Copies of this chain bind each other. A is one copy, B any other.
């Protein structure tokens, strides 16, 4: 195999992981990152959205031997959703079968580990190098440091792993026949914190993702290793209630007291955080093609940024790495053919997870408070447990089935919805859900999948 000089724009999660894959294949890899080295400077805050690492991400980490290390060192397994109603009553929904969990991980911790591993594998990471211009014909990029000094970097191949606002993609957007969309949803988010208790303990169930579903909006909370919870309010920008309508701290407090009283009671810093943490927007990016001239390719959020509601943003970007690694085996030195195969394979999956993530927003904020919905999920879970080869719930297909493509999962999920509508239409389903009649009907319906 021919060794290549490869540039990667972006040392975020996907860029760092990709660099490890490429370095392990013997290529010379240079990664250029606009932000400073997080190991030296503390960055950000109030705009993280905790990550939920699941099977697709773990499979990609396993490809470079890092899955167990991440699980051991920085993950909190979350086995179920805990739903909080207005009165503080709790209900529960397991994510999968016994022992199956999604994993709360901190973005900064995981990113730092991947950067360390990349360097240990011989990757050179250049921090504080902002991408200013790209030549797509020659895979040349111009980077500028904080002092305004710029360098031209020519490589054999250039990957844009530079996120939802990708500079590499911006160069592509200006080329003929490049389809592109950035779609802002009506909701934004604001982060709040539930700190540890006086004795350093978790103030709510630790191994769970907490949801306060309220129809058109919701609050969620994910556990952190320091026993705090990062809470995120997903909320409309306009209308009533909305970020616009809660235009004073007093109104915000009153609103939380009415809707999220049990959470508010655990937020000593609510006032300060409400005032100081930004309202951040949520964007979906779609584009095609993902590669140009057999030399430049987009990966991760740069090619398919999605909303966070399925916990699949990082996982789908990591899965791009898994796919690329397999295709590199298959195509050897023919990078142009490999890039074509990559974009043709991954584009439908990027579109599918974008749709799935929006569907899951509706499910989380609205349906997890709905008795019919919860019953349907219970019936599916029970049936799937007894007949695991006949039925895998959509959530499990997306989250725990790393070998099923997102596009396949979405198609199967739509079929399942149709079939479950027949089950839920059975008379007295809330009474007979556990009966043999329902099981018999499920068995018949499952044949149609």
Contact with B along A226-241 (1 / 0, CB 8 A): 0000000000010000
- Give the distance in Å from the alpha carbon of A173 to the alpha carbon of B169 in the complex: 14
Among the 9-residue stretches A6-14, A108-116, A181-189, the one with 4 or more Cβ atoms under 8 Å from chain B is A181-189
CB-CB under 8 A from A176, the residues of chain B are 184, 281
A111 to B282, CA, bound (A): 41
Query: Any chain B CB within 8 A of the CB of A180?
Result: yes
Out of B178, B179, B181, B184, name the residue touching A177 (CB < 8 Å).
Answer: B184
Find A180's partner among B177, B178, B181, B237 (CB 8 Å cutoff).
Answer: B181
Across-interface contacts of A177 in B (CB, < 8 A): 184, 237, 281
A163 to chain B, nearest CB (A): 15
Query: Which residues of chain B are within 8 angstroms of A179 by Cβ–Cβ distance?
Result: 181-184
Smallest beta-carbon distance A183→chain B, Å? 5
Q: Is the CB of B184 within 8 A of A183?
A: no
Inter-chain contacts of A237 with B (CB < 8 A)? 177
Contact check, B183 vs A181: say whether CB atoms are below 8 A apart.
yes
Cα distance A180–B286 in the bound complex, in angstroms: 11
CB-CB contacts below 8 Å: A146-196 with B: 173, 176-184
Pairwise interchain contact B184-A181, C-beta atoms closer than 8 A:
no
Complex: A269 Cα to B249 Cα, angstroms? 73
Q: Could you tell me the distance in whole angstroms from the C-beta of A162 to the nearest C-beta in chain B?
A: 15
A188 to chain B, nearest CB (A): 8
Contact A182 B183 (CB under 8 A): no
Question: What residues on B are CB-neighbors of A182 within 8 Å?
Answer: 173, 178-181
Chain B nearest CB: distance from A268 CB in Å? Answer: 30
- A99 and B9 CA atoms in complex are apart in Å by 61
Chain B residues contacting A173 (CB-CB under 8 Å) are 182
**Contact residues of A between 268 and 285, Cβ < 8 Å to B:** 281
Q: How far is the CA of A37 from the CA of B181 in the complex (A)?
A: 34
A184: B residues at CB distance < 8 A: 176-179
Considering the complex, give the chain B residue whose CB is closest to the CB of A183: B179
Mask: chain A, 200-236; 1 = CB below 8 Å from B; 0 = not:
0000000000000000000000000000000000000
| Contacting residues, chain B, for A178 (C-beta < 8 A) | 182, 184
A173-B182, A176-B184, A181-B286 given; 12 more Cβ-contact pairs under 8 Å: A177-B184, A177-B237, A178-B182, A178-B184, A179-B181, A179-B182, A179-B183, A179-B184, A180-B181, A181-B181, A181-B182, A181-B183
Hey, which bits of chain A sit against chain B, CB under 8 A? Answer: 173, 176-184, 237, 281, 286
3 residue pairs, one from A and one from B, having the closest CB atoms: A181-B181, A177-B184, A179-B183
11 A-B residue pairings within 8 Å (CB atoms) = A173-B182, A176-B281, A177-B184, A177-B281, A179-B183, A179-B184, A180-B181, A180-B182, A181-B181, A181-B182, A181-B286
